[in-house]
Amino acid sequence: MSKEREQIMRMLTGIMLAVVLVAGCAPSSHQALTRDYADRQQYTVNENYQSVYRRIQANARRCYETGLITAQMQVRSDLYTDIREGVISVVLSGGLGIDTYLGIEVKAIDDDHTRVTVYNALSSWNKAQPVIRRWVENTGNDC
């Protein structure tokens, strides 16, 4: 990606974050998000859970991690190989605490099938759902 495009993406992310901050607060943790969300989508793919997890994590970091003046958008992720699942969260971390805007659960159904559940905290993040679906299905890596 060109530097000019990166700058535009960062500017748009900053604008989006400003709108989100004005529009309302999000839950402080992934667990709270799974109980209180604006939208929830679930997808199943014929692929091992670890490769799906890595693809989503890499794209989320590329698309969502950015620094702001007093806060930072972060992608937090944990992979639990013993129970064959992973959790990826997009959070805003700053002086006012942590807001979890996006939560993604990746769970193995069996060795070759994976279920992905995506939660978003605010309706302004509904547009992330089709993007993440493309990541899950490996049909695109756009932001």
Quickly tell me which residue has 């604006």 as its tokens. 38
Burial pattern 88-120, b for ≥16 Cβ within 10 A else e, equals bbbbbeeeeebbbbbbbbbbbeeeeebbbebbb
User: For the whole model, what pTM was predicted?
Assistant: 0.79
Structure confidence by residue, pLDDT tens digits, 89-107: 999 888 778 888 999 999 9
The CA distance from 128 to 61, in Å, is 14
Closest CA to 64 of 32, 93, 22: 93
Q: What is the pLDDT of residue 22?
A: 43
| For range 41-60, the mean pLDDT | 97
Q: What is the pLDDT of residue 14?
A: 60
Half-sphere exposure of 105 (CA within 13 A, CB side): 15
